[in-house]
Amino acid sequence: MNGTDRDREFRLDGKIALVTGAGSGIGQAIAVKFAAHGASIRIVDVNEQGAERTRQLIAKCGGQASVHICDVTDQALAQVVFNEIFAGERIHILVNNAGVSHIGTVESTTEADFDRLLRVNVKGFYNCMHVTVPHMREQGGGVILNMASIAGSAGLPDRFAYSMTKGAVIAMTYSVARDYMAHNIRCNCISPARVHTPFVDDYLRKTYPGREREMFEKLAKAQPIGRMAESAEVASLALFLCSDAASFITGADYPLDGGFFNLRG
């Protein structure tokens, strides 16, 4: 297979992809990557400014995208916004990415923290699949990609509530893949280790003022490969899983972990 054939294999020409939380970080990288490979993007985010930045990035590269403001934790609102997107067009791909992180043990996690994580990272994913699956079923199929985390299947320190939500994402992925296989809907998830996103920089700035570089290196070296992942690397795996090249893959949790699970000392 020559280079041209390989490039064609990962094209998304004629596909429409709805990406939640696409206003920054991993979601933005996925939206831009998908657009660069031919998809038309529906940017869904609660942050209008961030969503517009993503749209502009895609437009600069000659891609097509539209912005749709939505709090995915509100099912009634999600139903309205998604139905507006569905009107007159077929959504081929849903990337469930909108989420929040949290640091804390079971003792230090407040009830408000717990409820917020559950509402955004679990209910938000459920809401988006709840309103999208009927559309995909009626249109003859589609692809759902959920952003999970190694925290969902590994015991990470100080990640009690976050780990709980990402474990739920993995379980929901398996369930949807099983229930809708006969309807030509594939559902997979990606479980990254640490990814260098604005959240990491904000966390270091707030928690270790003056020691940001030192602590960044410490967090980076926690992965056996010796660094954090980049958002673009997550986007590349997402592109494969949402392309026709991955048509035989469903119900899979893909670790993107720099050797975390198998190569730790």
Does 64 lie in the same domain as 47?
yes
Q: What is the pLDDT of residue 1?
A: 43
Does 119 lie in the same domain as 104?
yes
Could you give the residue numbers annotated as active site? 162
Q: What is the CATH number of the domain that holds 102?
A: 3.40.50.720
pLDDT tens column, 220-240: 887 788 888 899 999 999 999
Contacts of 213-218 spanning 24+ positions with Cβ under 8 A: none
pLDDT tens column, 55-92: 999 999 999 999 999 999 999 999 999 999 999 899 99
192 by DSSP, 3-state: which? strand
Does 101 lie in the same domain as 79?
yes
Nearest C-alpha neighbor of 238 from the set 251, 262, 256: 256
Contact 125, 94 (CB under 8 A): no
Does 103 lie in the same domain as 184?
yes
Q: Which amino acid is residue 171, in one-letter code?
A: A
Does 129 lie in the same domain as 163?
yes
Q: What is the pLDDT of residue 264?
A: 67
Q: Looking up tokens 């992180």, which residue turns up?
A: 101
* 261, part of any domain: no
pLDDT tens column, 17-54: 999 999 999 999 999 999 999 999 999 999 999 999 99
Domain span at 49:
3-193+231-256
Alpha-carbon span 78 to 61, nearest angstrom: 29
Q: What is the pLDDT of residue 252?
A: 98
Does 89 lie in the same domain as 183?
yes
pLDDT tens column, 150-201: 999 998 889 999 999 999 999 999 999 999 999 999 999 999 988 887 778 8
* 28, part of any domain: yes
Count how many domains the chain has.
Answer: 2
Contact 22, 54 (CB under 8 A): yes
Does 107 lie in the same domain as 58?
yes
Does 130 lie in the same domain as 206?
no
Does 60 lie in the same domain as 49?
yes
Q: In 10 A of CB 79, how many CB atoms?
A: 14
Mean pLDDT computed over 205-232:
83
Whole-number average pLDDT of the chain: 92
Q: What is the pLDDT of residue 218?
A: 83
Does 28 lie in the same domain as 16?
yes
Does 70 lie in the same domain as 164?
yes
The residues, any chain, with a CB within 8 Å of residue 120's CB and separated by 6 or more, are 72, 73, 98, 99, 100, 165
